[in-house]
Structure 1
Amino acid sequence: MQFFRNFFKSKFGVPVTLAFVALIGFAFATSDVAMNSTFGGIAGGERVAVVGDEKISSSDLTTAAASAVDSARQQNPTISMPVFIEQGGLDDVLDQLLERTAIAVYAKNNGLRAGDNLVNSEIMNIPAFRGADGNFDQEAYRQALASRRLTDAQVRDDLGQGLLAQQVLVPAAFGAKAPDSIIRRYAALRKESREGSIAILPSAVFAPSDDPSADALQKFYTANRGDFIRPERRQIRYFTFGAEQLGDRAIPTDAEIAAYYRENSAQFAAIERRTVTQLIVPTQQAAEAIRNRVRSGGSLEQAAREARLSTTTIDNATKAEFSSQTSSAVANAIFAAERGTVAAPARSGLGFHVARVDAIDRQAARTLDQARSEIRAALEVQKRRTALTDLAELVDGLIQEGAALPEIAAEVGAQVQTTPALTAAGAVYGTQTRAPDAILPALQTAFEMDEGEPEITEIPPGGTFLVFETADITESAAAPLAEIRDQVIAAYRLSEGSKLAKAAADRVLERLKDGQTLAAAIRAESKPLPAVDSINLSRQQLEQSGQRVPAPLALMFSMAEGTAKKLEAPSNAGWFIVDLENIETGTLADNDPALEQTRRELAQLFGREYAEQMRDAIKDDVEIERNETAIEAVRKALLGER
C-alpha cells in the first residue's frame, strides 16, 4: 500500500492516476449508452417511458398509482395496492400519464403555454387550499399536499398539463353537433319498445359436487390468485381520557365562585326585558295620529294595513338592546310605557316609531347564594375544558418525547385496549362486527401510520381525547391456499359449473335456431333451471327507472329483431340467454321534446368523441417509448415483491 501511495505522488504516477480516472468515467458513459440509448441503469433505470422529449420516471408512476389508490378508497375503503393492480389500475394510471404528457408535449410543440401566473391562479381557485376567510391559505395548501404525499412541483406540473390539455381539447370539442337526420333517428329510439325473453343458466346448477384433485386445485388457485386477495388489516392500540381522569381539578372552590360573581355582577343584577310590536312612519304627525287611534280602541295592525305598511316585533330585549337596534330616544319611550299601552312616538334613523308594549319581564337581582349553583356549573365546564387541554398537552409532550403508549396511559390513569384486526372500512376482519366506536374517527389516519407511532386526537363533539397507535399491520395479499381451501374449492366448482353452463347455453341457442321457443329450449335441458322471464319494455321505461340498466336488458336493446344471444354473468355466476322477438318503433312528431333533448345529448357525445379522436391523433403524432422492464420493476415494488 505504501508503494502505491508513493507511486501516485511521483511525477510518473500523477498522469497515470489521471488517465485511470478518465478511463473509469469513459467506461461509465459507454456502458450507459450500451445499455440503451433512451433508458439506462439496472432493471431499466428510473424512466418508465419517454414521451417526445419528456421523461416519466418510476417515482412519477409510483406517486400516481398511490394517489389513484387513495382516490379509490373514497368509494372502497378496503381496496389495497395489490387489488388495484390486479384490476388493471396500474396500467390505467400509466396510460393516463402517457396521454397527459403527450398532450402537453404536443401543445408546447405548437406554441401553447401554461405560465406560472396561470398555474398560480388555478391553485388559488381550488377550495381545498382556502382558509377560514375564504382566501388562499399557504398553510392549508401545505397540509393538503402533505396529506396526499405530493410536492409543490408535482402539483404545479399536473395543473400545467391540465391547462395545456384544456387549450388543446376544448377547441376540438367546442361547437360539436349532430346532423338532423341522426338526431331524428336517435330520438325515435326513445319511443321504441322491445319484446322478448331472458333465461339464466346458473353455474351452481351445473357445478360438480366432487372435490378437485390437489393438482387441479393448485393450478386454479395460482391462475386466480387475484380473486383471493385479502384486504390490509391493522390492529390498533388505544385509550381514551376525559373528565373521569380529572378528579377534583374541575371542581370550583368557593373563592373562585365568589370571584366569578364579582367579575360578572352585571349578569346577576336586576334586569327588565320587553316585547313590543312597532310601526315606523315618516312624520311625527302621522305617528301621533296612529297612536291616538290605537288609544281610542283601534288596532295597530289595522292602522298599518290601511297605511300600506307592516308591523315588526322585537322579542324579549333589554333597554340597551332596544337602544342599539333603534335609538336611545325610542328605548326610553318604550321603557316608560306600561304593558298593553302605546309608547309616545320617538325618532330613530328610520323614522318615528309607534310601539305597543306587549310583554314585560322583570327579573330581580340575585345574591351570591342564589346564583351559586349556576356559577358552579359554568365554572365546572370552564375548568374541565382547561384541565383537559392541559392534560392533552401533557400527553402530546410525552408522545413527542417518544414515550410508549402504556407509559402515557399510566400517566393519565387510563387503560390501554387493543382492537381485533380491522379493515379500512371499519369492520373486524372476517366478521360483520364493527370497530369500537371510539376508534372510528381515527380509523383513516390509523391506516396511514407506521407501527408504534402514537397520535392524539379529540373525539367529536368534544370532551374526550383518543390516543392511538398501529400495533400490527398485515399487508394485503392473497391468502395461502391452506387457509382458504374451502373457499377456493367453492370457486373452482363455480368456475367448472360456468363452463358447463356455457355449453348448455350453446345447446339452447341451437334449439332456438331450430324454431323452439326459449322456454321449450330451457325445459329440454336435464338440469332444473329457473323459469324464463318475459320482457316487454320501452327505452323510456328503462331511462325513467333511474337505475343502472342490467346487462341482459342492455343487450336486448342492442340486438337485431329475431335474434338470440348469450351473455356471461359476472363472477362465474352463470350465463344469460337473451331472445329478442319483436321491436315496435314509436312515432315522433316534429315538435316532440325528445328531439331537443337528443340534440343536446348528441352534441355532448360528439364533443367527447372529437376530443377522444384528438387524443388518439396526438398519441400517434408524439413518439412514445415504454420501458417495460422499468414498468414491471415498479409493479413488483408496489406489490412488495423482489
Structure 2
Amino acid sequence: MLTFFRNFFKTKIGLALALAFLVLIGFAFASMDVSNSGAFGGVAGGNSVAVVGDEKIGTADLNSAANNALQRTRQQDPEATMQTLLAGNGLNDVLDDLINRYALIAWGEENGLRAGTNLVNSEIRQIPAARGASGDFSTDSYNIFLRTNGLTDAELRQQIRTSLFFQQSILPSVYGSKLPDSIATTYARSFKERRFGAIATIPATLFAPQGDPTDAQLNKFYTDNRDRFVRPERRILRYATFDSNALGDSIEPSDADIAAYYRSNGDEYAARELRSFTQLIVPTREGAQAIAARIKGGESFAQAAASAGLRTTTVDAQEKAEIASTASAAVADAYFAAAQGTVTTPARSPLGWHIARITNVDSQPARTLASVRGEIADQLREENRQRGISELAVNIEDRLGDGASLSSVAEELGLDLQTTKPVTASGSIYGTQEQIPEVLRPVLNFAFQADENEAQIGALPDGQTFLVYDVSDITPSAVAPLAQIREDAIAQWRQVRGEQSAKAAAERIVKRVEGGQSLAEAVAAEKKNIRAPEQVNYSREELARLQNTRVPAPIALMFGMAKGTVKKLEGQGDQGYYVVDLDRIELEDLAENDPLIAQARSQVGQAWSAEYGEQLLNAMRADVGVERNPDAIAAVRRQLLGEPN
C-alpha cells in the first residue's frame, strides 16, 4: 500500500513537485560539492552568473558545480554526458542548487544563525574515516579521507557549514509537520475508487516510412538532433598491481629484532600460573568463616552457600594479577596459597569476604627464546609486511604527486604495465560488450575524473593489493560525424517520423472521441490497422499490490484524469503514443478507523513537509534578493558544451 503512494505522487493529482523538492533539499545541502570561487578566464558575459544578497556566484562556481553534477549523474548512468545533463533546463537546475545554498547561508547569517569554526571542527572529528586506530581524530586519516573523496579541507568545511545552516533553519520548519485529517481522509478515500476506461496503443513503427530520406532531409535531421548522436567519452587506461611481494626480503625479521621483541615482551613468555575456582562473597567475616567450617565439616560448597541464602560463581583460568585487580591483593594471595581442591581462607575485598574452592591449577613453565622464535618471527614478519606495504604505497603516492610517471614507478618495482582498449564510463570496451578487467572496476569513477597522464594509486578491496594507473588517452564525448553513423541516423529518422505520424494519429483519435465517438470507433476510423483499444478497470488498492512493479504510464495517467475525458500520452523512446479514455469512477465507502487514513497521513505528510521547506527557501531567496546574469549563464553553457563563444 505504501508503495502505491510513492507511485501515486507521480500522477497529476499527486504531489510530485513536493517530493522532488524534498529529495533536492537533502541532496543539495547535505552532499552538494562546493567549488572554489575565482575568475573564469576566457568566458564572455562577466565573472558572475548570479548575485545572492551581497555574495556573487562566479562562472567558475557554476562550471565546477555542473561537472560535479555530471559525476553524480554518472553514478546512476555511467554513460551520461554533459550534453544530456544540460538538455532542457539542466544548467538552470544546477544554478538553482547553488543559489539555494548561498541564500540559505546569507539568510542564516542575517538572522543570527551561526556555524563557526569550532562547530565545524566538532563535526569533522565525528567523521569515522577521520579517526585513527585509537578511535581519536587523526590528521593522517583525515587527509586520506579528503584525498579519497576528492575534496580539499576548505571544500569539506564549506559543505559542513552549509549543512549546519540547513539543520538550523530548514529542518525545524519541516520537522513534526502534520497533515490535516481532512486531507489525509481525502487521499485515503481515493484508494477505494475504481476506474473504468480504455487504452489505445499507437506504435510509431506502424507509421514509420519504409524508404530512405533524401540527403537534404537526413542532413537537416542530423543537424536538428545532434544530441541523439553523441558518442560517450572514451579513455585508455594503463595500470599495474602490486602487493607485499614487491617488498622482497625486507620484511624478514633479523635475529636481533626477534631477541629484542622477546625481551620487551618478557612477561608474555615468563612462567605463570592460572587458577580456576568456584567462589562465594559473604557480607561478614564471621559468615564467611561459618561457611568455610561447614564445608570442612563435609558439606559441599554449593550446599553451604545455599544454606546461607547465597549463590556461587565459577571463574576459569585467571592469573594472580587479574584477581588482585578485580578483587584485592589479599583475595589473590588467599586464592594462590590454597592447594587444588581445597577451600581458601576468607579474605576481604571492597565487595565483602571471599572464600573459594580451587578447582584447577595450571602451572606453565617459562618459554625460552628458542621455543617461541618461529612464533615471534611470524608476528614480526606480518607487522613488517603491513607497515612496509603501507609505507611503499605512501611513498609511491608522494612520488606520483611530485610528478613521477607511471612507467618509471612500474619499472622500478618490476611491475607488468598493461594497457586497455578505449573504455567507457560504464566499464565496457567501446563498441563491444566486453567489460574492463575486474581489477579496474573499483577505480573506474576516479579514472574518469583524472587528467591525462596523471598517475594515481589506489587500494583494492582486499586491502592487500594496490593498483597504480593513469589515463594515457582521452577521447571526449562528441557528436559522431554523419558519414560514420549514416545507417543509424537513417534508422532514427524513420523512428522519429513514425513518432510524429503516431502523434498526429493520436490527436485525430482524441478529437473524434471528444466529438462523441467511442474510442474503438475513433481508432477504427484510422487508415492504418491500429489494434483495438484494451478495456481496463483498476482500483488503487489493486495497483498498490503490484509492490515494486512500476505502474504502466497509461494506467497512471488514467488515475490522474477527470471522468469522461480523453488524453494522449507519449510513449518512451520514440515508441509511439497512447490514447487513454476514462469512462467512469466508482467510489467505495471509507470507515472512520480505516488504516488507509494513517498510511495516507504518513506518506502524504512527507510531501506536506517538503512544501514547508520549499516555501521557506523561496522566502529566503526573496528576502536576501537574487539576480541572474543570463549572458554569463549562456557563456558557461557554451564552454561546458565545447561551443565557440
TM-score range, shorter chain: 0.7 to 0.9
Matches within 5 A, 1:167-186: 181-186=182-187
**Between Structure 1 and Structure 2, how many residues are aligned?**
597
Which amino acid in the other structure matches residue 93 of structure 2?
D
Measured after TM superposition, the shift of residue 482 of structure 1 is 3.6
**Residue 239 in structure 1 maps to residue 237 in structure 2:** no
Measured after TM superposition, the shift of residue 416 of structure 1 is 1.3
Q: Is the 8 A contact 2:246 2:413 kept in 1?
A: yes
Equivalence for 2:586: 584
Measured after TM superposition, the shift of residue 410 of structure 1 is 1.9
Q: Is the 8 A contact 1:130 1:136 kept in 2?
A: no
Q: Is the 8 A contact 1:102 1:622 kept in 2?
A: yes
Seen in structure 2, the aligned counterparts of structure 1 residues 304 and 46 have a Cα distance that, compared at 3 Å, is: farther
Seen in structure 2, the aligned counterparts of structure 1 residues 164 and 239 have a Cα distance that, compared at 3 Å, is: closer
Q: Aligned partners of 2:198 and 2:343: how far apart in 1?
A: 81
Q: Aligned partners of 2:625 and 2:271: how far apart in 1?
A: 85
| CA shift digits 1:50-69 (9 cap, x unpaired) | 45665433223223323433
Q: Aligned partners of 2:565 and 2:269: how far apart in 1?
A: 88
Equivalence for 1:249: 250
Seen in structure 2, the aligned counterparts of structure 1 residues 196 and 350 have a Cα distance that, compared at 3 Å, is: farther
Bigger shift: 449-458 or 71-80? Answer: 71-80
Measured after TM superposition, the shift of residue 592 of structure 1 is 3.8
More relative contact order in 1 or in 2 (CA 8 Å, sep 6+)? 2
| CA shift digits 1:352-403 (9 cap, x unpaired) | 4465666665555444454343233223323434544564465456545643
Measured after TM superposition, the shift of residue 249 of structure 1 is 3.0
Equivalence for 1:374: 375
Q: Aligned partners of 1:262 and 1:517: how far apart in 2?
A: 94
Equivalence for 1:501: 502
Q: Is the 8 A contact 1:177 1:602 kept in 2?
A: no
Give RMSD over aligned pairs: 4.7
Q: Aligned partners of 1:150 and 1:204: how far apart in 2?
A: 52
Equivalence for 1:405: 406
| TM-score for both structures, normalised by structure 1 | 0.75
Which amino acid in the other structure matches residue 538 of structure 2?
N
Bigger shift: 624-633 or 125-134? Answer: 125-134
Query: For 1:121, which of 119, 144, 149 is the aligned residue?
Result: 119
Seen in structure 2, the aligned counterparts of structure 1 residues 387 and 207 have a Cα distance that, compared at 3 Å, is: same
Matches within 5 A, 1:622-633: 625-633=627-635
Q: Is the 8 A contact 1:233 1:475 kept in 2?
A: yes
Q: Is the 8 A contact 1:129 1:144 kept in 2?
A: no
Matches within 5 A, 1:546-565: 549-565=551-567
SS state at 1:83 partner: helix
| CA shift digits 1:266-287 (9 cap, x unpaired) | 4444444455565545345555
Q: Aligned partners of 1:265 and 1:179: how far apart in 2?
A: 73
**Residue 132 in structure 1 maps to residue 134 in structure 2:** no
Equivalence for 1:567: 569
Matches within 5 A, 1:10-409: 43-50=44-51, 55-86=56-87, 88-98=89-99, 112-114=111-113, 117=116, 121=119, 124-125=122-123, 127-128=126-127, 131-132=130-131, 152=154, 159=161, 163=165, 181-253=182-254, 256-257=257-258, 260-261=261-262, 263-274=264-275, 280-284=281-285, 300=302, 307=309, 314-335=315-336, 346-353=347-354, 363-389=364-390, 391-392=392-393, 395-396=396-397, 398-399=399-400, 402-409=403-410
Q: Aligned partners of 1:636 and 1:257: how far apart in 2?
A: 66
Q: Aligned partners of 2:222 and 2:522: how far apart in 1?
A: 38
Equivalence for 1:423: 424
Which amino acid in the other structure matches residue 245 of structure 1?
A
Q: Is the 8 A contact 1:426 1:443 kept in 2?
A: yes
Seen in structure 2, the aligned counterparts of structure 1 residues 591 and 241 have a Cα distance that, compared at 3 Å, is: closer
Q: Is the 8 A contact 2:131 2:137 kept in 1?
A: no
Q: Aligned partners of 1:571 and 1:297: how far apart in 2?
A: 89
Q: Aligned partners of 1:608 and 1:566: how far apart in 2?
A: 31
Seen in structure 2, the aligned counterparts of structure 1 residues 518 and 320 have a Cα distance that, compared at 3 Å, is: farther
Measured after TM superposition, the shift of residue 473 of structure 1 is 1.8
Bigger shift: 495-504 or 276-285? Answer: 276-285
Which amino acid in the other structure matches residue 112 of structure 1?
N
Which amino acid in the other structure matches residue 477 of structure 1?
A
Measured after TM superposition, the shift of residue 347 of structure 1 is 3.9
| CA shift digits 1:147-200 (9 cap, x unpaired) | 666784996599579849965x78987997666554443332233333445454
Q: Aligned partners of 1:354 and 1:205: how far apart in 2?
A: 96
Seen in structure 2, the aligned counterparts of structure 1 residues 634 and 139 have a Cα distance that, compared at 3 Å, is: farther
Q: Aligned partners of 1:436 and 1:553: how far apart in 2?
A: 43
Equivalence for 1:34: none
Higher CA-based Rg: 1
Equivalence for 1:31: none
Q: Is the 8 A contact 2:202 2:530 kept in 1?
A: no
Q: Is the 8 A contact 1:420 1:428 kept in 2?
A: yes
Matches within 5 A, 1:514-533: 516=518, 521=523, 527=529, 529=531, 532=534
Bigger shift: 469-478 or 223-232? Answer: 223-232
| CA shift digits 1:81-101 (9 cap, x unpaired) | 333222532111223444565
Bigger shift: 158-167 or 429-438? Answer: 158-167
Q: Is the 8 A contact 1:100 1:165 kept in 2?
A: no
Measured after TM superposition, the shift of residue 237 of structure 1 is 1.8
What percent of counterpart residues are identical?
42
Seen in structure 2, the aligned counterparts of structure 1 residues 370 and 442 have a Cα distance that, compared at 3 Å, is: same
Q: Is the 8 A contact 2:198 2:519 kept in 1?
A: no
Q: Aligned partners of 2:361 and 2:79: how far apart in 1?
A: 62
Equivalence for 2:636: 634
Measured after TM superposition, the shift of residue 325 of structure 1 is 3.5
Q: Is the 8 A contact 1:396 1:456 kept in 2?
A: yes
| CA shift digits 1:540-585 (9 cap, x unpaired) | 7528836654433321221223444321122213323334344232
Q: Is the 8 A contact 2:59 2:633 kept in 1?
A: yes
Equivalence for 1:478: 479
SS state at 1:572 partner: coil
Seen in structure 2, the aligned counterparts of structure 1 residues 281 and 450 have a Cα distance that, compared at 3 Å, is: farther
Seen in structure 2, the aligned counterparts of structure 1 residues 327 and 493 have a Cα distance that, compared at 3 Å, is: farther
SS state at 1:570 partner: coil
Seen in structure 2, the aligned counterparts of structure 1 residues 203 and 172 have a Cα distance that, compared at 3 Å, is: same
Measured after TM superposition, the shift of residue 421 of structure 1 is 2.7
Q: Aligned partners of 2:427 and 2:349: how far apart in 1?
A: 61
Which amino acid in the other structure matches residue 590 of structure 2?
L
Equivalence for 2:4: none
Q: Is the 8 A contact 2:439 2:460 kept in 1?
A: yes
SS state at 2:573 partner: helix
Which amino acid in the other structure matches residue 119 of structure 2?
S
SS state at 1:91 partner: helix
Q: Aligned partners of 1:490 and 1:294: how far apart in 2?
A: 99
Bigger shift: 272-281 or 144-153? Answer: 144-153
Q: Is the 8 A contact 2:52 2:99 kept in 1?
A: yes
Q: Aligned partners of 1:125 and 1:181: how far apart in 2?
A: 42
Equivalence for 2:28: none
Q: Aligned partners of 2:101 and 2:284: how far apart in 1?
A: 71
Seen in structure 2, the aligned counterparts of structure 1 residues 160 and 504 have a Cα distance that, compared at 3 Å, is: closer
Seen in structure 2, the aligned counterparts of structure 1 residues 525 and 139 have a Cα distance that, compared at 3 Å, is: farther
**Residue 448 in structure 1 maps to residue 446 in structure 2:** no
Seen in structure 2, the aligned counterparts of structure 1 residues 132 and 559 have a Cα distance that, compared at 3 Å, is: same
* Unpaired segments ≥5 residues, structure 2: 1-41
Q: Aligned partners of 1:259 and 1:558: how far apart in 2?
A: 80
Q: Aligned partners of 2:272 and 2:313: how far apart in 1?
A: 23
Equivalence for 1:468: 469
Seen in structure 2, the aligned counterparts of structure 1 residues 376 and 338 have a Cα distance that, compared at 3 Å, is: same
Seen in structure 2, the aligned counterparts of structure 1 residues 294 and 235 have a Cα distance that, compared at 3 Å, is: farther
Q: Aligned partners of 1:639 and 1:58: how far apart in 2?
A: 14
Q: Is the 8 A contact 1:130 1:137 kept in 2?
A: no
Q: Aligned partners of 2:398 and 2:594: how far apart in 1?
A: 72
Which amino acid in the other structure matches residue 193 of structure 2?
E
Bigger shift: 155-164 or 450-459? Answer: 155-164
Q: Aligned partners of 1:335 and 1:201: how far apart in 2?
A: 93
SS state at 1:545 partner: coil
